[in-house]
């Protein structure tokens, strides 16, 4: 007889007991804090208000007690400086009590705010030496966690004069701006909405390589990508890696990683092989954006440590291997009200659908107006080696909506107002087939998901696919929140104007929508984003088609961007200028390093080996000459291959040497330019192209030189797990 007793598997038990074990979760707080303090903290988290000092002391004491119970010995403010990484400064809990006895202690003051000796973090000139102080301040909305015996407290990082020196500060500000105006707009539909939250679910792609192979590749070690390497005979042509069986070694790595993530309350759920060999993906369940971003940053550092234990290396670079798919970090994004409505999801009622259309159209217009800025938010030296390839979104921002949704917008745009109002008949909720009745079908009809679009509507969210695998997603989320907030402010003003000129609310809204749908049309593109035609078409539409990272950053400083950030109170002009300085500086430094590493490898590794091999060939020719000295014709025939090879090697060596000199001259020239921007521009236009030209010659040599003496592991060795 089959028993129908519910069976609980061990795995489930393990997951639930392990989940959040290393996090000072609400549940743990409840255990460790007096009721009154717990409620107060809960209130502050909800309203994003500051916590009083007296409460902070009690919370700090509880946090310290919890952490030391779990074996922690140190604490650290954990923040996201503009390096794109996370930063920690570890301090021991050690204090002496009044009897000079050593104890573990964390005060409320140190929990709330610290002044890390942070003068070497990039500030873009904001912190002059006399005011070189940077402050970290506790972000109570993201829970503290324990990482390797250290209690990590998520914080923002600002300068002495209050400017943001990190990603978290503007992210929180952008959420605030969006929440405020989105809630107001929601109130046209439902008065009970009191807040709107941004949700993010990222999909992290990455490569894994064997540690010993990695150690033998100075380019990977120092730049995160291979600066040379001929494609392997078999790479991804057969598309047999995608969703294939995860190699045993990698499965072990994933098992370990998942366990650690779950202990840190990172809700990772999906892992699979990606398209390229050695390429994988891990994705969590979506969460509130600030927390989700913290979790992604935490994952990126945890996965590196876990990989080391398995003698593997994680490559988060967007394009570690030429000729293979690059890695991205798709950002799945939606907005939800505190009443449980997803604003990017078609609903069950006309009212919900109407609201959905309002947010959709406003987003279209925001992305259209600020498509350059959104592109700037995903721009980095490394992501630009990936974008525009035949496997990644182009470096042009457009939005995919799918045929159903597009046709609804076309209807709204084209039909006259009376007709639409009659059709939607919102106030009566008539059960007739109407314009907005069609919307839910989209969920079912969501099969034509266009993989070539950088920003796609996927039924109940948007998927921003242009984000790079190594990026801090906050960079993009800040822009999405800010531009939508700014657009909604515009929308709200229009509604108010229309209302005061005597229109009813539905009329008022539709007048605005019709205008936005018309204006934002150029951003809608459902076709093949990889095609040549799209490039031509996008230019005609006036979308930003710039492919130079140095000039793409200019979008942050355009007047319309400055005033948008001013209106939403996300960045001041001073902050924007400083942050762009950092971006340009970073760009220059990254290319400088690549250029130096490539010069070194070419000069000290590749050319000597090529010459060694050439000498072997020369030796071979001389010996043939000796043996066949009597028979010139035979000698010529037999030595033909070697001689051709000798000449080709010389040609490649000559070209490499010329290009190295050329690259060095260009570097020196760029260094003489006055502004950081000009220098970055110089590097982008004159140094980067040489990197690629040099590698082409090296890759040719790789195919000629004896495999036994080639100094670096080849792609086929690197990509075999
Ligand atoms: P794929 O794009 O590969 O089909 P999934 O459907 O598994 O991926 O989802 C990818 C990510 O999108 C996950 O992190 C998931 O939690 C997230 N996601 C799903 N629904 C939403 C939503 N409404 N808002 C934000 N993220 C979401
Ligand atoms: Mg996806």
pLDDT at position 78 is: 94
432 pLDDT band, cuts 50/70/90, is: very low
Atom of ligand 1 nearest to the CA of 344: 23
Give 605's DSSP letter. I
Measure the CA–CA gap between 612 and 614, rounded to whole angstroms.
Answer: 5
Whether residue 143 is found in the same domain as residue 180: no
421 pLDDT band, cuts 50/70/90, is: low
Measure the CA–CA gap between 17 and 13, rounded to whole angstroms.
Answer: 6
Contact 66, 28 (CB under 8 A): yes
- Read off the CATH number of the domain in which 665 is found: 1.20.120.1560
Q: CA 654 → CA 106, 122, 566, 611, 657, distances in Å?
A: 64, 40, 54, 11, 5
Measure the CA–CA gap between 673 and 686, rounded to whole angstroms.
Answer: 13
Measure the CA–CA gap between 409 and 435, rounded to whole angstroms.
Answer: 10
pLDDT at position 132 is: 61
Q: What is the pLDDT of residues 33-90, one digit of tens each?
A: 999 999 999 999 888 888 888 899 999 999 999 999 999 999 999 999 888 778 888 8
User: What's the number of domains the chain is made of?
Assistant: 3
Ligand 2 midpoint to CA 458 (Å)? 9
Ligand 2 midpoint to CA 262 (Å)? 21
Whether residue 411 is found in the same domain as residue 470: yes
Top-confidence residue, 403 or 667: 667
**Listed residue (514, 659, 517, 682) closest to 599, CA to CA:** 659
Q: What is the pLDDT of residues 174-225, one digit of tens each?
A: 999 999 999 999 999 999 999 999 999 999 999 999 999 999 999 999 999 9
Whether residue 82 is found in the same domain as residue 231: no
Whether residue 494 is found in the same domain as residue 385: yes
Mean per-residue pLDDT, 415-427: 61
Which residue has the CA at smallest separation from atom 14 of ligand 1? 201
Q: Which range has the worst mean pLDDT, 123-137, 305-319, 566-580?
A: 123-137
Q: Which range has the worst mean pLDDT, 16-25, 87-96, 536-545?
A: 87-96
> Buried (b) or exposed (e) across 320-352, using 16+ Cβ within 10 A?
bbbebbbbbbbbbbbbbbeeebbbbbbbeebbb
The last residue of one of the domains, among 571, 600, 621, is: 571
Which residue has the CA at smallest separation from atom 3 of ligand 1? 203
Ligand 1 pocket by Cβ (under 6 Å): 199, 201, 203, 270, 283-286, 332-334, 342, 460-461
Which residues lie closer than 8 Å to 540 by C-beta, 6 or more apart? none
- Read off the CATH number of the domain in which 49 is found: 3.10.20.70
Ligand 2 midpoint to CA 416 (Å)? 37
pLDDT at position 431 is: 39
pLDDT exceeds 60 at position 227? yes
Whether residue 497 is found in the same domain as residue 604: no
Residue 2 lies in a domain: no
pLDDT exceeds 70 at position 155? yes
Q: What is the pLDDT of residues 625-660, one digit of tens each?
A: 999 999 999 999 999 999 999 999 999 999 999 999
Measure the CA–CA gap between 699 and 494, rounded to whole angstroms.
Answer: 59
Strand bridging mode 102-104 / 150-159: unpaired
- The total of other beta-carbon atoms located within 10 Å of residue 485's CB is 27
**Listed residue (366, 539, 373) closest to 462, CA to CA:** 366
Q: What is the pLDDT of residues 508-534, one digit of tens each?
A: 999 999 999 999 999 999 999 989 899
pLDDT at position 87 is: 83
The last residue of one of the domains, among 165, 195, 218, is: 165
pLDDT at position 449 is: 66
pLDDT at position 317 is: 97
C-alpha neighbours within 13 Å on the C-beta side of residue 569: 10
**Listed residue (70, 69, 87) closest to 78, CA to CA:** 87
Which class for 92: exposed (0-12), middle (13-18), buried (19 or more C-beta within 10 A)?
Answer: exposed
The last residue of one of the domains, among 165, 189, 207, is: 165
Average pLDDT in the chain:
90
Mean per-residue pLDDT, 607-623: 97
pLDDT exceeds 80 at position 339? yes
Whether residue 310 is found in the same domain as residue 222: yes
**Listed residue (245, 239, 297, 305) closest to 266, CA to CA:** 297
Atom of ligand 1 nearest to the CA of 202: 14
pLDDT at position 472 is: 97
Residue 337 lies in a domain: yes
Mean per-residue pLDDT, 253-258: 96
Mean per-residue pLDDT, 564-586: 96
Ligand 2 midpoint to CA 205 (Å)? 11
130 pLDDT band, cuts 50/70/90, is: very low
Q: Which range has the worst mean pLDDT, 110-119, 274-283, 464-473?
A: 110-119
pLDDT exceeds 80 at position 450? no
**Listed residue (372, 353, 356, 297) closest to 85, CA to CA:** 297
Which class for 536: exposed (0-12), middle (13-18), buried (19 or more C-beta within 10 A)?
Answer: exposed
Ligand 1 midpoint to CA 332 (Å)? 6
Whether residue 136 is found in the same domain as residue 199: no
Place of tokens 């639930």: 16
pLDDT at position 391 is: 72
pLDDT at position 194 is: 95
427 pLDDT band, cuts 50/70/90, is: very low
Question: Which runs of consecutive H residues, i.e. helices, occur in 19-74?
Answer: 26-32, 35-47, 53-69
**Listed residue (188, 180, 195) closest to 496, CA to CA:** 188
169 pLDDT band, cuts 50/70/90, is: very high
Mean per-residue pLDDT, 153-175: 93
Residue 142 lies in a domain: yes
- The total of other beta-carbon atoms located within 10 Å of residue 133's CB is 15
DSSP states of 518-576: HHTGGGB--S-TTSHHHHHHHHHTT------HHHHGGGGGSHHHHHHHHHHTS--HHHH
Q: Which of 197, 199, 202, 203 to mutate to test the pocket of ligand 1 (most atoms within 8 A of CB)?
A: 203
Residue 389 lies in a domain: yes
pLDDT exceeds 50 at position 428? no
Which residues lie closer than 8 Å to 436 by C-beta, 6 or more apart? 350, 353, 354, 357, 408, 424
- Phi, psi angles (nearest 5°) of residue 436: -80, -5
- The total of other beta-carbon atoms located within 10 Å of residue 30's CB is 13
Whether residue 126 is found in the same domain as residue 210: no
Both tokens of residue 433?
């087939």
Which residues lie closer than 8 Å to 431 by C-beta, 6 or more apart? none
Whether residue 271 is found in the same domain as residue 128: no
Residue 12 lies in a domain: no
Whether residue 384 is found in the same domain as residue 429: yes
Domain, as residue range, for 322: 175-571
Whether residue 221 is found in the same domain as residue 274: yes
Q: Which range has the worst mean pLDDT, 197-201, 445-449, 526-530, 603-607?
A: 445-449
Top-confidence residue, 442 or 596: 596
Whether residue 557 is found in the same domain as residue 609: no
Measure the CA–CA gap between 464 and 455, rounded to whole angstroms.
Answer: 4
Place of tokens 């521009």: 681
- Read off the CATH number of the domain in which 223 is found: 3.30.590.10
Model-wide pTM > 0.85: yes
Residue 3 lies in a domain: no
């Amino acid at each position: 007889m089959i028993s129908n007793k519910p069976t609980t598997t061990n795995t489930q038990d393990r997951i639930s007991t392990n989940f959040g074990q290393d996090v000072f979760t609400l549940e743990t707080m409840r255990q460790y804090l007096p009721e009154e303090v717990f409620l107060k903290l809960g209130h502050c988290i909800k309203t994003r208000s500051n916590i009083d000092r007296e409460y902070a002391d009690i919370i700090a004491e509880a946090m310290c007690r919890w952490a030391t119970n779990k074996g922690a010995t140190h604490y650290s403010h954990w923040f996201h400086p503009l390096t794109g990484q996370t930063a920690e400064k570890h301090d021991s809990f050690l204090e002496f009590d009044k009897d000079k006895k050593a104890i573990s202690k964390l005060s409320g003051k140190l929990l709330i705010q610290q002044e890390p000796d942070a003068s070497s973090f990039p500030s873009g000139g904001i912190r002059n030496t006399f005011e070189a102080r940077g402050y970290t301040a506790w972000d109570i909305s993201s829970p503290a966690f324990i990482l390797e015996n250290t209690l990590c407290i998520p914080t923002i990082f600002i300068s002495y004069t209050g400017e943001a020196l990190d990603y978290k500060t503007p992210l929180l500000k952008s959420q605030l701006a969006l929440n405020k105006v989105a809630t107001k707009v929601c109130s046209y539909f439902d008065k009970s909405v009191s807040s709107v939250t941004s949700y993010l679910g990222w999909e992290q792609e990455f490569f894994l390589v064997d540690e010993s192979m990695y150690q033998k590749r100075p380019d990977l070690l120092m730049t995160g990508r291979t600066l040379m390497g001929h494609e392997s005979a078999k790479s991804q042509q057969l598309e047999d890696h995608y969703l294939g069986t995860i190699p045993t070694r990698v499965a072990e790595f994933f098992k370990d990683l998942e366990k650690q993530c779950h202990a840190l309350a990172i809700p990772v759920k999906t892992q699979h092989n990606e398209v390229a060999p050695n390429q994988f993906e891990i994705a969590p369940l979506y969460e509130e954006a600030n927390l989700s971003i913290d979790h992604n940053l935490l994952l990126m550092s945890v996965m590196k440590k876990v990989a080391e234990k398995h003698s593997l290396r994680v490559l988060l670079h967007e394009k570690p291997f030429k000729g293979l798919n690059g890695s991205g970090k798709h950002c799945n994004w939606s907005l939800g009200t505190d009443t449980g409505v997803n604003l990017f999801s078609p609903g069950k009622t006309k009212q919900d659908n109407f609201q959905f259309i309002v947010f959709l159209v406003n987003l279209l217009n925001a992305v259209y107006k600020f498509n350059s800025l959104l592109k700037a938010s995903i721009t980095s030296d490394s992501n630009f080696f990936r974008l525009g390839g035949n496997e990644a979104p182009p470096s042009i921002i457009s939005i995919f909506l799918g045929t159903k949704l597009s046709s609804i917008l076309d209807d709204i745009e084209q039909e006259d107002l009376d007709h639409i109002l009659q059709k939607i008949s919102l106030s009566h909720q008539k059960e007739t087939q109407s314009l907005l009745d069609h919307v839910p079908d989209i969920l079912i009809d969501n099969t034509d998901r266009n993989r070539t679009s950088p920003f796609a509507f996927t039924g109940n969210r948007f998927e921003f696919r242009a984000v790079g695998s190594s990026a801090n997603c906050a960079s993009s989320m800040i822009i999405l929140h800010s531009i939508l907030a700014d657009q909604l402010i515009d929308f709200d003003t229009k509604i108010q104007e229309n209302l005061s000129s005597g229109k009813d609310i539905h009329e008022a809204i539709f007048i605005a929508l019709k205008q936005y749908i018309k204006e934002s049309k150029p951003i809608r593109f459902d076709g093949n984003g990889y095609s040549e035609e799209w490039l031509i078409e996008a230019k005609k539409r006036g979308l930003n088609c710039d492919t130079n990272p140095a000039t793409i950053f200019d979008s942050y400083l355009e007047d319309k961007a400055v005033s948008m950030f001013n209106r939403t109170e996300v960045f001041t002009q001073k902050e924007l200028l400083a942050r762009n300085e950092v971006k340009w500086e970073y760009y220059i430094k990254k290319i400088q390093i690549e250029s130096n590493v490539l010069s070194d490898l070419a000069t000290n590794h590749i050319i000597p080996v090529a010459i060694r091999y050439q000498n072997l060939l020369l030796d071979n020719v001389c010996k043939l000459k000796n043996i066949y000295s009597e028979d010139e014709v035979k000698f010529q025939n037999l030595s033909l291959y070697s001689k051709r090879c000798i000449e080709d090697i010389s040609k490649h060596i000559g070209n490499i040497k010329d290009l190295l000199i050329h690259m060095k001259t260009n570097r020196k020239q760029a260094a003489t330019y006055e502004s950081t921007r000009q220098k970055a521009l110089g590097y982008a236009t004159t140094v980067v192209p040489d990197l690629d030209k040099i590698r082409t010659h090296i890759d040719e040599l790789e195919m000629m030189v004896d495999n036994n003496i080639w100094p670096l592991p080849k792609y086929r060795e690197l990509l075999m797990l």
